[in-house]
Structure 1
């Protein structure tokens, strides 16, 4: 933490009985110019970080001065080294990160170094929240049974994490059954201002983090700067490596007005998401300002910040103000810490109050909150907002226009075996109150409970074909719903507690009742899901559900009652009361005042203090797990959950020279918006796919496959599932769905994995071509790791999503961009070509031109210049070493 501090900005701040050292932005402004004080608050956080670590090595005085230049130009091309205070992980992405750390310990030992040097240097918290599935629902014992199944499925993984909790210093694990990582972060882990020791001094600085989940941005709602990175970047940050980044553009989003009657924070965030997607904020910070912030609770702000990945921004930041302080108090943070947050923000010019001058932004846009309409998003993307009154017509049009692909006749309505009802297109078969996006917000959760109460009073029931579930992001939600008496009403409609975790939002929706799935298959139905999540990409929620809509929790309950997205909830009844009279949504929708009164009465500070008092201990099932205490992990070669990855096999002490890619074959030819959900293994494992065959060969019955997410610690499973999404379309096969390709030159159709193994056995390098926005979606390291293990040397696309581009570089894969006006279609690529990529061997440089020579089957050739999206000098080093982990390991070995 010590630096040369050439700007002489170290000052002291007395708060109560304690004195803190801090790096004063106001003193820096005396050197940099007064306009620095009008930097967006999010950039002030970055500036403080540079001041604190300025040492004329990784951070120079010129880096600091670049922030002053930003004020003049409102943008910068300057690369900076940023060091977040801590790292947050969830278990799906956290397990492979801990696997890699364990593998690095083995490698360090094998290379003659000290394995104990492999430890997180920054605080690292892993929250186990992605493993619970909705196997059992609609009953009082749903939680208990799902928890038992979760432990049975994940015993090996949980034993490994228990080992890591004991083996690594500075590494904490929040056990299963506690909550979702982002909600636990918001309600407990985040502190607003972090503190650390520097000699005899206690230094105060902004609480910052990176997380191995893209929705790490949620905590920006309470002025904690954080965003999602790949597991490989997070591991490097844990090991003391800075996050290399360009000083971002910052788009200011001015909010005015207040939500009107009948609208929720979910409606607001779906509107914001649509606006920012249209604006184009990929790779940028978004910072919210304006009088409308005074009308938003911190939970409302967190809901908006959570969905930054959906609107494409690096983060969606809200500055510190009175509402931030009130939330810290409400959630039981220590009084001394709350006082420090307020004092620090005011001392640093980071405090927002009515009348605060607007910061300088790169660009701005504005929304009057009072104009927001009740909305959903879908049926395929979170940015596709649709007003509630237009959902019915929108679904019908998509069905008529073949928007879901092959489907049965519009009037298809097969009988559900063993029942007296049938199902048809648009029927809601999954209604899930899930995801930190909304379960962290008491107003929408209370609203769902009140709507359920009103429906129960009228004798209404959920349609029998709907799988209902409630999976909150923390136990606090359960406590206030129970205290308000609302959980009983939710239970009566089938929204019983099924677990504490992400569940349906990440595809852990569990199986549909077999008669329902049989009817969907029989009628080739486009069934629907309505969930209070943040993701609804194709194939994500459930393989049998093709139309997926994001909605507020009360609308999830309403659609469960209606049973179909083919019902206009604004103008048509969603059901009948006990006397057979029609009931409209307006008849059971709670008023804003009723919701506010309930939140004020039943959400208390004591709940947060009680639920987080012993958060790292876990339940009796967690405490029963036995694991040996050892410096290195005892790998089990028979394990199908955790395996030692091959990244460090036969690794020399020094990296070899960078080479060109010659004679590559095309493994995949993809269109626009290929998400990491298309690339990365996720959801259920098909028994007839490469991963399923591997598990069966290793003695695992299909009933025990679990999910890809649960097996992220086994590279053999994961690389077999890369590009295996049932909805991905490889244009080499005419756009047919599924993870297949044509092996060249024989043209044989096979799985992408099988083709890769055949190519690798022959020593043939591979490339992938794609369209716009390649790699949007979750920041999943396996989208890059799997790509690496499949032998892919380069991905050529029209544009990349920020996180995935970075992860590709971190795994030693070239991200390349077509020049303007050129793409796979203008080049008439069909996948039979042989590709040469030249220029790297002569000297790899950031954003250099790489020459791509295309050799066609007819003997003709064509050369196209491509932009190398290795953006920084640090990334050049990562690539030169074969990846960021190899770079870190070699550095630690030299320092030994």
Structure 2
């Protein structure tokens, strides 16, 4: 590494419309002795450019060793070094962004108390926040639903939005995209990303790739356009905004070769569900996935974005497509200027980054391949995105799920004769549990169809065209519109108990659906626009009609939701809906018409026309040519230019919102939405000395696949929950509770909601929900109250006795959304460590960021193999001498005094993470460092 401003001798220039711009040319690195740079995966080269560009800064954060660790990447030589990544920008949505802004405001208040300059707490890296997670489907099926839902959104979220208006003015390098513009990832794709930046620094013009981290796990959707970016925890994003590098291991890169072409009637949704199942089976957690091969030529950029979006579902850090000619065309189609398109093309060509199937394939750690012609129409569900089902398998899956439910009830000693759910099952032709192998007879199927207007097991009560995954893609939205048109023309209707909704990813979608003449047909089937936001997929599905809710609860029915989203975890979509299926928008419309998932859409009639003639799905499914023609004739660049010209202005309600001003946020002690968090109160400038964890008790003992939705729900707040009782005590009526996601600025609500999912299963108790056992001595607490108390109440009792807590779990702990409150709430409940068989990437990082110790069972060991019941007292030893990926000793002593001792792997994966943990968290370290510099 040389001295001076160009330590690796890679600076060069390109000509742009704005003048000559400096670049960090990767080819020069190869000329200077680093062989094989041109054959590195695209994602590694983008990461390498970032390291090169920041290696000549005065801070010396990035060293020659960091650059070399990445420049010499090969499948056989992946460095175990953690590298510091400095992205170009940060992006947030409001559910995760509001707590981030609350934390920044709290840091400013703490800085003031400690005698520092609060204006030093300011984003260094540009940050955008898109408000898209707060609109709820209260009104649906009418022309005024959009207006009504926006009105309620502002009534519920005025305090939160006021905070964001304050932040707009108080912080530099921070922009807010107001409500009603669209879903964060689609706004990012269509408007925010330039793909290549052109910026002036110290009088010199620089060109460099767009890179980012985001506080939403589906930030990866931007990978579809070739931008390197992924989801991180809100805590990590805050640190990046404040100028801290994001430390990451050098990644493995899985190459996914696509060839062939999708068959008629197969959508990008079907393709991504197939890919998700394949990659989950392969195991790509913590890895990059990079798509390549001749199949890219038949995939539009929105198709690619659909696939990239679901990287969290297939477990990868990201799923990226290198940019090519289709990428340049997409920039033009979405209204980018010719100067910008020219800049992108010149830069990519100069760097050898413009993809072509004529170039040699990159080298990858491992490869998979898929012939896209083999993909079939499918759904995923009823609980996980990776559980793909072909259309013909859906009714069989549903019936077997129901049978197993009743078998479990019978085996647990619950009588079925008086069970209303079982009675309804038998009435509607369900197979008795004594005959689990008996298929449903044809006459029984007919009986189910005759009862099509009655809510029963398997009824579709929610059909939602929603979420960033699919509403970013004109082909599936137009496909849904064409299917609706054909259905209406045949006289078909949606069943009356189905709550239908259309929530496009951007306002442009409305324009092209109108231009194609398809919006009236969707509305004729009840798919009126309800908002421009995440809605159903995040759990903002709103209440079901009262009669439907009553029928479900009185008969304990297992009903279904079909949505074009990316998440279908338990308890997420609606508290009354147990079975949730992901599907393409056309299939959402089809299932709304069918009204049940107990149907084989490949062979059974979808419905009957007014003359009694059967109508099959194939009769109304649009041809590929129809979809392409509608796209070509209805989507214009001018639509994007018009809709995004005022993207930062917002609706009238936003402009009229009152907001505080000033450097410091004026905390309102009476607010039930925004409170100053306790993390930096009575803050010691010296970090505490590391100590072993002694005599800890188990707050919860979990199995596999505990999601961040289980740990920190985003949806409804039950009135009889600790959070609900807290809000009622503050005079908030249940109809004004809003959601957990909307109240993430108030730690009092969120800590009470931690581990509060209604479908959570804690093995310490024999009931669903946020319950646990208080392991007390009889003199501490009445024995009869020790069993089955709320997790929050138990944690407060433990806190009174200064008892540390731990959580024990199985595989894939923390899968799902990048939800920082899943870690914050865990910390505030007094949990000092989580011992799991494996962790999902983002949640592990969030635990570290909050000072909670992530520990992993040794291969082949878990709570069951070690005989752990969760009733033991635990010591965790060796904390003072921790090393990255080292070992700690855990000693568990049961009530009889018998001990089990075992080793666990420390999942502090770098020296930096150990430093974060020793400081009590990443923001604690930042605050201490900032005060020292005052």
TM range (shorter): over 0.9
1:571 to 585, 591, 603: 603
1:83-135 C-alpha deviation (Å, 9 max, x unpaired): 11111100000000000000001011110111111111111110110000000
Map residues 304-383 of structure 1 onto 2, 5 A cutoff. Answer: 304-383=307-386
1:61-80 C-alpha deviation (Å, 9 max, x unpaired): 11111124322625331210
The answer for the alignment partner of 2:280 in structure 1 is: 277
CA deviation after TM superposition for structure 1 residue 6, in Å: 2.0
2:594 to 549, 562, 583: 562
The answer for the alignment partner of 1:471 in structure 2 is: 503
The answer for the alignment partner of 1:298 in structure 2 is: 301
1-structure distance, mates of 2:868, 2:900: 11
Per mean C-alpha deviation after superposition, the further-off stretch among 349-358 and 591-600 is 349-358
1:739 to 761, 770, 779: 770
Q: Residue 662 of structure 2: SS of its match in structure 1?
A: coil
CA contact (8 A) 1:412 1:424 kept: no
1:541-589 C-alpha deviation (Å, 9 max, x unpaired): 1111111100000000000000001111110111112322110001111
CA deviation after TM superposition for structure 1 residue 628, in Å: 2.6
1-structure distance, mates of 2:119, 2:407: 53
2-structure distance, mates of 1:420, 1:65: 65
CA contact (8 A) 1:745 1:832 kept: no
Map residues 76-87 of structure 1 onto 2, 5 A cutoff. Answer: 76-87=79-90
CA deviation after TM superposition for structure 1 residue 5, in Å: 3.4
Q: Residue 863 of structure 2: SS of its match in structure 1?
A: coil
CA deviation after TM superposition for structure 1 residue 803, in Å: 0.4
The answer for the alignment partner of 1:645 in structure 2 is: 677
1-structure distance, mates of 2:406, 2:262: 33
Q: Give the paired residue count.
A: 891
1:520 to 552, 567, 572: 552
Map residues 448-459 of structure 1 onto 2, 5 A cutoff. Answer: 448-459=480-491
1:868 lines up with 2:906 in the alignment: yes
1-structure distance, mates of 2:406, 2:222: 36
CA contact (8 A) 2:75 2:365 kept: no
The answer for the alignment partner of 1:823 in structure 2 is: 862
Counterparts in 2 of 1:627 and 1:861: CA distance versus 1, 3 Å: same
The answer for the alignment partner of 1:250 in structure 2 is: 253
CA contact (8 A) 1:236 1:885 kept: yes
Q: Residue 73 of structure 1: SS of its match in structure 2?
A: coil
Map residues 374-393 of structure 1 onto 2, 5 A cutoff. Answer: 374-393=377-396
List gaps (5 residues or longer) in structure 2.
410-420, 430-446, 778-785
1:333-387 C-alpha deviation (Å, 9 max, x unpaired): 1222211111111111211012111000000000011110000001110000000
The answer for the alignment partner of 2:847 in structure 1 is: 808
The answer for the alignment partner of 1:260 in structure 2 is: 263
1:882 lines up with 2:920 in the alignment: yes
1:158 lines up with 2:161 in the alignment: yes
1:770 to 776, 786, 809: 809
1:418-467 C-alpha deviation (Å, 9 max, x unpaired): x9942111110000000010000000000000000001111110011100
CA deviation after TM superposition for structure 1 residue 58, in Å: 2.0
Q: Residue 369 of structure 2: SS of its match in structure 1?
A: strand
List gaps (5 residues or longer) in structure 1.
none
CA contact (8 A) 1:449 1:481 kept: yes
Map residues 580-619 of structure 1 onto 2, 5 A cutoff. Answer: 580-619=612-651
Q: Residue 392 of structure 2: SS of its match in structure 1?
A: helix
1:147 lines up with 2:147 in the alignment: no
2-structure distance, mates of 1:873, 1:459: 66
CA contact (8 A) 2:156 2:736 kept: yes
Q: Residue 12 of structure 2: SS of its match in structure 1?
A: strand
1-structure distance, mates of 2:638, 2:249: 42
The answer for the alignment partner of 1:511 in structure 2 is: 543
1:538 lines up with 2:570 in the alignment: yes
CA deviation after TM superposition for structure 1 residue 404, in Å: 11
Q: Residue 855 of structure 2: SS of its match in structure 1?
A: strand
CA deviation after TM superposition for structure 1 residue 200, in Å: 1.4
CA contact (8 A) 1:91 1:130 kept: yes
CA contact (8 A) 1:769 1:796 kept: yes
The answer for the alignment partner of 2:746 in structure 1 is: 714
CA deviation after TM superposition for structure 1 residue 600, in Å: 0.7
CA deviation after TM superposition for structure 1 residue 20, in Å: 1.0
Q: Residue 743 of structure 1: SS of its match in structure 2?
A: coil
2-structure distance, mates of 1:404, 1:846: 47
Q: Residue 760 of structure 2: SS of its match in structure 1?
A: coil
2-structure distance, mates of 1:486, 1:412: 39
Q: Residue 255 of structure 2: SS of its match in structure 1?
A: strand
CA contact (8 A) 1:76 1:249 kept: no
Q: Residue 7 of structure 1: SS of its match in structure 2?
A: coil
CA deviation after TM superposition for structure 1 residue 879, in Å: 0.9
CA deviation after TM superposition for structure 1 residue 10, in Å: 1.2
1:762-810 C-alpha deviation (Å, 9 max, x unpaired): 1111000000010000000000000000000000000000000011000
CA contact (8 A) 2:22 2:207 kept: yes
1:259-289 C-alpha deviation (Å, 9 max, x unpaired): 1101000000000000000110000000000
Q: Residue 113 of structure 1: SS of its match in structure 2?
A: coil
2:205 to 197, 202, 205: 202
Q: What is the TM-score normalised by the length of structure 2?
A: 0.94
CA deviation after TM superposition for structure 1 residue 745, in Å: 2.9
2-structure distance, mates of 1:405, 1:604: 55
1:440 lines up with 2:440 in the alignment: no
1:177 to 180, 184, 206: 180
CA deviation after TM superposition for structure 1 residue 484, in Å: 1.1
CA contact (8 A) 1:3 1:52 kept: no
CA contact (8 A) 2:75 2:252 kept: no
1:275-312 C-alpha deviation (Å, 9 max, x unpaired): 00011000000000000000000000000000000000
CA deviation after TM superposition for structure 1 residue 17, in Å: 4.7
The answer for the alignment partner of 1:835 in structure 2 is: 874
2-structure distance, mates of 1:408, 1:477: 43
RMSD across aligned C-alpha pairs, in angstroms? 1.7
Q: Residue 836 of structure 1: SS of its match in structure 2?
A: strand
1:138-182 C-alpha deviation (Å, 9 max, x unpaired): 001101111111110111111111111111111101111110000
Q: Residue 454 of structure 1: SS of its match in structure 2?
A: helix
Map residues 406-421 of structure 1 onto 2, 5 A cutoff. Answer: 407-409=421-423, 410-412=425-427, 421=453
2:100 to 82, 97, 100: 97
CA deviation after TM superposition for structure 1 residue 191, in Å: 1.0
2-structure distance, mates of 1:474, 1:74: 43
2-structure distance, mates of 1:255, 1:114: 54
